[in-house]
Amino acid sequence: MFTKILIANRGEIACRVILTARKMGIKTVAVYSEADRDARHVALADESVLIGPAPSRDSYLVVDKIIAACKATGAQAVHPGYGFLSENAGFAKRVEEEGIVFIGPKHYSIAAMGDKIESKKLAGIAGVNCIPGVNDAIDTAEEAVEIAKSIGYPVMIKASAGGGGKGLRVAFNDKEAFEGFTSCKNEARNSFGDDRVFIEKFVEEPRHIEIQLIGDSQGNVVYLNERECSIQRRHQKVIEEAPSPFISDATRKAMGEQAVALAKAVKYQSAGTVEFVVGKDQSFYFLEMNTRLQVEHPVTECITGLDLVELMIRVAAGEPLPLTQADVKRDGWAMECRINAEDPFRNFLPSTGRLVKFQPPKESMFASDVSQWHGVRVDTGVQDGGEIPMYYDSMIAKLIVHGKDRLEAISMMREALNGFVIRGVSSNIPFQAALLAHPKFVAGDFNTGFIAENYGKGFRAEDVPHADVEFLVALAAFVNRRYLSRSKAITGQLEGHELRIGDDFVVVTIGQQGNGTSYPVHFAEFNDKTRSGRMIVGTNSYEIHSESKFGQVRMMGTCNGVHFCAQVERGTPKKPLAIRVIHNGTMLDVMVLLPRAAALHALMPYKAPPDMSRYVLSPMPGLLVEVAVQPGQKVVAGERVAVIEAMKMENVLFATADGVVGKVLANKGESLAVDQPIVEFA
């Protein structure tokens, strides 16, 4: 067994590998860019090596720097994680040639299966059903359009070295094929250093189901059940679960055996995943093979009781697999939500900056610990006060739950999301909450088009309807009452003028116009010593008890005897007098007022924000890589204006109306802030 390994990655996956290595008594070496000096994976590792500037092409993608770090620290093996160099056959070969063990498949397996074009050719030769398409690299956008027309729209344009939704577009017409090809090549070149692109038919209403494999150097390969990954947005997985609520035992067995046969054909060893597109009738087609550990591997760990990272390390050290196919179990139901730094209410644009608060829900399962199952686990590479840089992907954490069945897993996940406190950057938690509550998701009735079909016009606050808004009102009133009780207890108050607290309040929601709905609240009972109270909101009674302390954002307790977990805080950056309540994805800002104050508040005038319709604003922090217009140019609605790059994704800004460009206010190469003007129309 190795005594020291280097992790050629960053963030959550680097931390994940370090935890298993520590359990196995193996020393670890972290590599980091200048943007990651204070990152969590650097602090967790036994040693760390600086490998270059922030952009990944100058640091995490530079093979020579990784090799040099191994030699300088005496690391005997390299774990590549996922992304970056994990599926780069040249990197794996170079590592082996330098006398270092690659904790992953052999370079020839990566070359055969990690390349999407070559893997489809090999799968076809092996008799595996493949989706119609052109598997050779395409040179020009014009050629891409002609091929797309010959296959028939819709088509999927994919980077050969792509992964994680990078370098992938679906085109429904010639214009989208032309632009999608260009964007795919650019993203692939920037993210993977390989700009080859191919096209295949896009199968409508498909399910994305993948089989987890593990193989050893003795030729043994077993499959570790499947993962359902059909809940995707722009081809990026959002929620993963295991097992799938869709396929039968017979289909699971057939898919697993086909995946194993494919792996054995390329002498595969280490962890890998064979991805399939599955039709309504449970027919399945080979999509691709990921020759690495997957982001969603924890759900497989939960239902099988295995540590996949440990198995990868042991196989790389030459040990045989410790289990046969008959030993693979399937216990309970696991789900994973990817918690990303993006704003779901602004078309999921990236959100970068400092994590002012980062308080994950309480964990009862832990990465690398196979002794604890059925609970909550958080895999993350960030910490309270850490930075979400714009140079890498948007993942903050992975939230994993394991229950006895699917409904319990959904319930556990909703509770865990309620307790996940993130401030300083926006996150997709409200969107995750909405997905988990959607009747079709709960019923298991979905495919890869689920998000596009149900949230095709974007995600709005009203897409997260709360079952009981008056409960949120009662929570705000209860918290306000506790603060008033503390104020009443302050000594030294002028005799005869002490603070007196009545039983009647009005909770006013702060809407977009600043004059939201009013809810009269009457306190029938309140006891500050027992931290409990009973309120009448409208015609409903809410008896709340909570031991949560002042200043804590996460609030836990009971309401009418039923446990709840919510987030409640006083004051927001733009509304210092408000109380914010967040529960089940719904956020409510309110002011708790005396009846007279509420009556006066209703008379307050509303100050409208300035009209910015003449400007094209940067919707997120990022790098301005292109300005496509000039002063004096006539622009029509839908015309390309600028391109911003953030978190390895290109975001194109289009004109929303016809007009003439007055001024260009930002230059190519400039780092932009949120809402910074780029172009002003005359």
Q: What is the DSSP letter of 251?
A: H
Task: For CA atoms 222, 85, 395, 50, give the dihedral sign.
Answer: positive
Q: Please tell me the number of Cα atoms within 13 Å of 151 on its side-chain side.
A: 27
**Is 336 tagged catalytic?**
no
Average pLDDT, the chain: 92
Question: Average of pLDDT values for 111-131?
Answer: 79
Which amino acid makes up residue 388?
I
Reported residue count of the chain is 682
With cut-offs at 50, 70 and 90, classify the pLDDT of residue 513: very low
Residue 156 near residue 177, CB atoms below 8 Å: no
200/104: higher pLDDT:
104
Pairing type for strands 27-32 and 4-7 reads parallel
Q: Say whether pLDDT at 141 is over 70.
A: yes
Count of CB atoms situated within 10 Å of the CB of 37: 11
Question: In this predicted model, what pLDDT tens digit does every residue of 343-356 receive, in sequence order?
Answer: 999 888 888 889 99
Ranking 216-225, 568-577, 630-639 by mean pLDDT, the lowest is 568-577
Long-range CB contacts for residues 315-319, cutoff 8 Å, separation at least 24: 315/214, 315/215, 315/216, 315/217, 315/269, 315/270, 316/77, 316/101, 316/102, 316/103, 316/104, 316/270, 317/1, 317/2, 317/77, 317/101, 318/217, 319/216
Question: In this predicted model, what pLDDT tens digit does every residue of 608-621 receive, in sequence order?
Answer: 778 888 899 998 88
* Catalytic residue (choose from 176, 210, 288, 310): 288
Long-range CB contacts for residues 62-69, cutoff 8 Å, separation at least 24: 63/88, 63/90, 63/91, 63/94, 65/31, 66/6, 66/8, 66/31, 66/91, 67/94, 67/95, 67/98, 67/100, 69/6, 69/29, 69/31
Q: What CA dihedral angle connects 603, 604, 605 and 610, to 10 degrees? A: -150
Name the CA radius of gyration of the chain, rounded.
Answer: 27
What is the pTM assigned to this prediction?
Answer: 0.85
Question: In this predicted model, what pLDDT tens digit does every residue of 302-312 receive, in sequence order?
Answer: 999 999 999 99
Specify the pLDDT at position 512: 54
Specify the pLDDT at position 497: 87
Residue 299 near residue 227, CB atoms below 8 Å: yes
Planar angle of CA 144, 146, 152, nearest 5 degrees: 100
Q: Would you call 649 helix, strand, or coil by DSSP?
A: strand
Q: Say whether pLDDT at 514 is over 50.
A: no
Residue 330 near residue 303, CB atoms below 8 Å: yes
198/73: higher pLDDT:
73
With cut-offs at 50, 70 and 90, classify the pLDDT of residue 374: very high
Question: Average of pLDDT values for 442-469?
Answer: 91
Greatest mean pLDDT range, 164-173, 368-377, 644-653: 368-377
% of the chain beyond a pLDDT of 70? 99
Question: Average of pLDDT values for 208-235?
Answer: 96
Ranking 399-403, 455-459, 473-477, 580-584 by mean pLDDT, the lowest is 455-459
User: Which residues, other chains included, contact 675 with Cβ-Cβ below 8 Å and sequence gap of 6+?
Assistant: 612, 617, 618, 619
40, 209, 433, 489 from 144: Cα distances, Å: 43, 28, 39, 74
Domains of the chain: 4-103 (3.40.50.20), 132-201 (3.30.1490.20), 207-455 (3.30.470.20), 469-488+501-601 (3.30.700.30), 615-681 (2.40.50.100)
**Considering only CA atoms, which of 406, 476, 412 is closest in space to residue 442?**
406
Q: Which residue in the block uniquely carries the two structure tokens 């914010």?
A: 580
With cut-offs at 50, 70 and 90, classify the pLDDT of residue 536: very high
Report d(CA 362, CA 671) in Å as an integer: 37
Six-digit token string for 225:
């059940």
Q: Which residue in the block uniquely carries the two structure tokens 């030294």?
A: 492
Greatest mean pLDDT range, 39-43, 349-353, 511-515: 39-43
Burial class (CB in 10 A: 0-12, 13-18, 19+), 24: middle
Residue 213 near residue 223, CB atoms below 8 Å: yes
482/394: higher pLDDT:
482
Q: Which residue in the block uniquely carries the two structure tokens 């930075």?
A: 387
Ranking 248-252, 349-353, 448-452, 487-491 by mean pLDDT, the lowest is 349-353
With cut-offs at 50, 70 and 90, classify the pLDDT of residue 493: confident
Q: Say whether pLDDT at 267 is over 60.
A: yes
Q: What is the DSSP letter of 330?
A: -
